[in-house]
Amino acid sequence: MWFSAFRGGVHPDGFKELSSQLPIKTLPLPKELRVSLRQHAGSEAIPVVKAGERVLKGQLIGRPGEGLSAAVHAPTSGIVTAVEEVLAAHPSGIHSKAVVIEVDGKDEAIPTVATLDPFTMDRAELAQRVSEAGIVGMGGAAFPAAVKLSAATRSKDGIETLMINGGECEPYLTADDRLMRERADQIILGARLIQYIINAGRIAIAIEDNKGEAIEAMRAAAKPYSDIEVVVVPTRYPMGSAKQMIQAVTGKEVPAGGRSSDVGVLMHNVATAYAIAQCLTRGEPLISRIVTISGGAVKRPQNVEALIGTPISHLVEQCGGTSDTPDRIILGGPMMGVIMPSTDVPLNKGSAGVLALNKREVAAPAASPCIRCARCVDACPMGLVPLEMANHARAQDFDGANDYGLKDCILCGSCAYVCPSHIPLVHYFQYAKGEQSAQKATAKRSDYTRELSDAKRERKEKEAAAKAAAKAAKRKPKPAKKAVAEEEDE
Ligand code: SF4
Ligand code: SF4
């Protein structure tokens, strides 16, 4: 298999060595977990437990909501103290519903049912198990994994290549790197199970060339399987983005607005493949993940295996705490992650990193006017014209920004990274996308309200017509009995 370069991209400083040298650390249980019911793409899960109930590790605590959604499980045993709004992992400081569990320290699990050899099982049944385990894309998007599997099985031309993404191109993050080094066999098993479910012809595992040990470990684990290839790709941000990775590995470009299945590819992250192996061979739902705790303000940066719902303050404390007050807390990587309002937010399934950055790391010179150097255009991996898009977004002309391809922008931040005028281009795009989603939601709500009031008016009109008809029928004189008798005689 070959790789071709995708357009644009940048080479930010990696800072990977901060956390990549130490093995994954298993943490002691925290005192409390706040398991969000909205930590996946789609609608909020619906709680199935109440305050006061005892829950066991692996027990369902939130069933999937309407439409696209995912199940949520108790990460350990304890007492549910509340089902309430808690500070969400969102930059705006909004709250979202969570199941709060006071951990009892016993880590008592629900009994696991012995599983058959999954390679002998029905494919749809396996996809259903992935759905019930609440597995979502763990590279950041948190899209329900079973939905992708089912869509792939329905794909018109089938899936030729299952791609397992071990790119991890964001600076600081090394969670996937350590997972590949330490648990390569399980990732390969997960990849083979996905291949079996979607009936893919082959598996390509793409890893950036700055992860030598991970490449070796994955190659050794893949050796017995002739249809699995480990493809080494150049280190270039945003290599980990699906469209860029697919282009680099297969040479095929996913069309604008299209899906990877349009070019015969299904992509899953290495951590998602690992979670699928745990689910289908051990019956484990998704209740923990590997997460990088790093940044200049963290005393002992390291990767940890943490329970979903653990407050990120606990994660940072377990890495020695901070040496000075962090200037910025980020969930995810510094390029595409989100700035957190505090360390009080819980860890979610899609969070690959928690960064506590110091003053020096976040220092950003003040923005100055655009000098029309076009560096942002050269850096954009989607072939967009960021300076024009930003001009329209700044003027609230979202249609104009859309005409320049805003919908195709993956918010990678490459343009802002290279801008010599330090214009926060990506902030304009985030703002414009957010505003348009909000406008769409408002329009949807008013359509719904209009439909309701139209239906109400129609019903009232029908009721009034029925009443009038009944009244008219009462007023109509009845024929005389004699006349009726005469008519019957005829
Ligand atoms: S990189 Fe910055 S200064 Fe150069 S054209 Fe783009 S927005 Fe303007
Ligand atoms: S943030 Fe959007 S416009 Fe900027 S480089 Fe990335 S894809 Fe291009």
Does the pLDDT at position 3 exceed 80?
no
Residue 304 CA, ligand 1 centroid: distance in Å: 39
The preferred substitution site among 387, 392, 427 for testing ligand 1, maximizing ligand atoms within 8 Å of CB, is: 387
Does the pLDDT at position 489 exceed 70?
no
Residue 7 CA, ligand 1 centroid: distance in Å: 18
**Which ligand sits closest to the CA of 369?**
1
Task: Provide CATH 3.40.50.11540 ranges for the chain.
Answer: 17-110+122-288
pTM of the model: 0.86
- Average pLDDT, integer, range 128-143: 92
pLDDT digits (tens, 9 = 90+) for 178-222: 999 999 999 999 999 999 999 999 999 999 999 999 999 999 999
CA distances from 479 to 302, 470, 471, 474, 488 (A): 96, 18, 18, 13, 13
At the fourth CATH level, which superfamily is domain 366-455?
Alpha-helical ferredoxin (1.10.1060.10)
Quick one: pLDDT band at residue 488, thresholds 50, 70, 90?
A: very low
Q: Whole-number mean pLDDT of the chain?
A: 90
Residue 392 CA, ligand 1 centroid: distance in Å: 14
Q: Residue 15 has what DSSP assignment?
A: -
Q: Which residues line ligand 1 (CB under 6 A)?
A: 370-376, 386-387, 419-421, 423
Task: Provide CATH 1.10.1060.10 ranges for the chain.
Answer: 366-455
Does the pLDDT at position 87 exceed 80?
yes
CB of 172 closer than 6 A to ligand 2? no
- For the ranges 88-102, 419-433, 443-457, the one whose mean pLDDT is highest: 419-433
Q: CB-based contacts of 352: which residues, under 8 Å, 6+ apart?
A: 138, 139, 140, 168, 170, 173, 175, 176, 271, 289, 291, 292, 332, 333
- Average pLDDT, integer, range 305-327: 94
Task: Provide CATH 3.10.20.600 ranges for the chain.
Answer: 289-362
Determine the Cα–Cα distance for residues 285 and 154; give it in Å rounded to an integer: 25
Beta bridge partners of 82: 100
pLDDT digits (tens, 9 = 90+) for 372-425: 999 999 999 999 999 999 999 999 999 999 999 999 999 999 999 999 999 999
Residue 156 CA, ligand 2 centroid: distance in Å: 31
Does the pLDDT at position 112 exceed 70?
yes
pLDDT digits (tens, 9 = 90+) for 242-275: 888 898 888 888 887 788 888 999 999 999 999 9
DSSP string, 76-117: S-EEEEEEEEEE-SSTT--EEEEEEEEE-S--PBPPPPPPP-
Does the pLDDT at position 426 exceed 80?
yes
The preferred substitution site among 387, 425, 431, 433 for testing ligand 2, maximizing ligand atoms within 8 Å of CB, is: 425
**Which ligand sits closest to the CA of 386?**
2
**Which ligand sits closest to the CA of 6?**
2
Residues of the chain with pLDDT > 70: what percent?
A: 95
CB of 264 closer than 6 A to ligand 2? no
CB of 426 closer than 6 A to ligand 2? yes
Report the nearest atom of ligand 1 relative to the CA of 375.
1
Q: What is the dihedral of CA 400, 401, 405, 407, to 10 degrees?
A: -120
Residue 404 CA, ligand 1 centroid: distance in Å: 15
Domain 17-110+122-288 adopts which CATH fold?
Answer: Rossmann fold (3.40.50)
Q: Whose CA is nearest to atom 7 of ligand 1?
A: 387
Domain with residues 289-362, CATH architecture: Roll (3.10)
CB of 335 closer than 6 A to ligand 2? no
